[in-house]
Amino acid sequence: MIRNSNMLPHSNKLVHPLSAAKVLGGMPILKEPRLIGDWVLWLEQRPEEGGRTTALIRPWGLKGLVPIELTPSPINLRTRVHSYGGGALAIAKKGSQLLITWIDDQDGRLWMQSFEGLENTKEQQQVSLIACQEPIALSSKASFSLADGFLDLTRNRWIGVMEIDEKDYLVAFSLAKENQNPRIIHVPNDFVGYASLSPNQDQLVWIEWSKTDMPWDASELWWGSFDDSGEITQKRLLLGSRNKDLEKISIFQPFWMPNGQLAVSEDTNGWWNLSITSQKIEFNQEVLWKNLWPMDAETGLPQWVFGMCTNSSAGKKILSANCYRGRWRLQLLSNNGLIKDLDQPFDSISGIDSNAYRAVAIASNCFTSSGILEIDLKDNHWQHMTIKETILQDYEISIAQDFWFKGYLDRPTHAWYYPPKNNTTRPAPLLVKSHSGPTAMASNSLNLGIQFWTSRGWGVVDVNYGGSTGFGRAYRDRLLLGWGKVDVFDCAAAAKALIAEGKADEKRIAIEGGSAGGFTTLACLCFTDVFSVAACRYAVSDLKSMSQETHRFEAGYLDSLVGKLDRDMSSYEERSPINHFKNINCPVIFFQGLKDKVVLPQQTLSIVSQLKLKNLPVELHDFPDEGHGFRDGTVKIKVLNETERFFNKHLEL
């Protein structure tokens, strides 16, 4: 039985500590599920295979059937556009054939393969897809990076994003030729992505944003039509503005309804809400938008990677995954403004796809690990398939509790608090988690990495500090010009609030984070006296260096988080942990990938060297084959084990 957070277990049974190998050793990350006829397709990133990502497929409704792997090893579905990638796979149904294209991380090329057998039904005992030919390399091996494509079957081509020489383009590759150079079909001012083809395949919409903005701060929705040669003509701006005097809005995931109406998430009212056009779009007609479903909830996400999807057409309705006060829900939205909640027990939902009768998503809750959720929209029947069964009994799980406290400027701020298992009468050691992004959002879904700590008698607080996504634009904008102040105050305030409630031992407060969360972790050590020990993964320590050396996608990010470097140099210096290492007085363990292009290894080495001069207990563990964000399961296991060893040693646990 799938349980939800309203079914809280109560037990005094002893909980055995979880091992890092059980927590991280073999649980794949599921991404980008799709419906294709009577089949369900998804991606799996497998830590036991060094983080390799592959595509799998099986018939709808047969969760017990071993899925077919479409892209076996050594194929690795991964893109490198904007350094964070995403959107490696594009699929289409062509009669009884499944046509797939992918970008392979081994060579960066665009590949294609077709399979026969989509008309097999689940009534058959044996279902399979047969490859029609060996994989074909559509693109030449070159210096460009590709991502975020779709298949334009009318013109027999792949259309997607190309990044080359610090510039984005929309490009096309024929599906009938090998080893091609890209055909450029649109040149944006700066960044481009999230292109969507109309149902009759004669119109295209896409999102653009400036290199001085991040897409969750300001972006534009563009439209164009195809001429007979496949070129984009009659381009026009539909939403957003290049007029700097007008208020900026963020636009997320445009998609088409079957009747030709266009829908998109945009945050004009302070939340990523869905707006839809009143009619089909014509070049010479005014486009009227309607927000039929205003809500204080987010139907969008920060666009760090391609391939994200929170909304989908479901016949004449829209299926929306939206976040309300930190929890996700699935709703069917009708053109008359009616909203119907789908009855299902999951509150962490991503990557949805749907048609008039069915829906699929990645879903989890506090009892159930991430899996494929299938919903029959006719009768609301659902089933959920995890790749591996949850290794914990209900009584062993620490349930995330909503925890609101006074954050920066006394604003109500959210966190998830996980009470320790095997609790004793004395206050427990506490681990404060500062998430990455810093636009990410701490989720309440089953996280075995957190259960690792609670099974050892730790409390854990996962802080949605000011700047986090999921609570509206005003909450997200708290961090504008405030990074290194707002997040630091909020993480320390969460710990202090739990200490005041007697839930945490003030002498045993640890903090950990990666990337932007690593920066917050180091800044907390520099500017507060709450924490006794810390762990940092690929942590930003020098804001000036980051501003000058970071990759193209984030080149203007610090302008909004800290200020203009030439104008606000003092803020960069005041908030950079590298300049305040003398204030750090507790042990710190660092983890760094040597292939990291976001936080260069020299940044980490520099602050480690400075801290060692203070004779502080400091450790650095580096990994030659890892970049920004660790993918290899063995590396993740080592990081968790070394963190626990380090914490226990220096907190005398």
Over residues 35-89, the pLDDT tens digits come to 999 999 999 999 889 889 999 999 999 888 889 999 999 999 999 999 999 999 9
Report phi then psi at 224, rounded to 5: -155, 160
Around 120, how many Cα atoms within 13 Å sit in the side-chain half-sphere?
20
Domains of the chain by residue range: 400-651
Q: Which of 117-131, 176-190, 226-240, 347-361 has the lowest mean pLDDT?
A: 117-131
Pairwise CA distance, residues 562 & 559, whole Å: 6
**CB 166: neighbour CB atoms within 10 A?**
10
**Phi and psi for 29 in degrees, rounded to 5?**
-95, 125
* Under 8 Å between Cβ of 526 and 484: no
- Give 141: exposed, middle or buried? Use CB within 10 Å, 0-12, 13-18, 19+: exposed
Pairing label, strands 588-593, 618-623: parallel
**H, E, C per residue of 422-457:** CCCCCCEEEEEEECCCCCCCCCCCCCHHHHHHHCCC
pLDDT at 247: 83
DSSP string of 494-538, one letter each residue: HHHHHHHTT-EEEEEEEEEEETHHHHHHHHHHHH-S--SEEEEES
Q: What is the mean pLDDT of the chain?
A: 93
Q: Phi and psi of 340, rounded to 5°?
A: -120, 120
Average pLDDT, stretch 17-35? 88
pLDDT of residue 122: 57
Q: Which CATH superfamily is domain 400-651 in?
A: Alpha/Beta hydrolase fold, catalytic domain (3.40.50.1820)
pLDDT (tens digit per residue) in 150-180: 999 999 999 999 999 999 999 999 999 999 9
Please check whether residue 459 is in contact with residue 419, taking contact to mean a CB–CB distance below 8 angstroms: yes
User: Tell me, what's the pLDDT at 9?
Assistant: 47
Strand order in the sheet with 157-164: 145-152, 157-164, 167-174, 183-186
**Rounded CA gap, 533 and 509, in Å?**
7
Residue 483 tokens read as 């990074």
Residues in the chain: 653
β-pairing verdict for 588-593 and 533-537:
parallel
The pLDDT assigned to 8 comes to 47
Q: What is the pLDDT, as a whole number, of residue 225?
A: 96
Which of 109-123, 311-325, 392-406, 598-612 has the lowest average pLDDT? 109-123
pLDDT surpasses 90 at 123: no
At 20 the three-state DSSP class reads helix
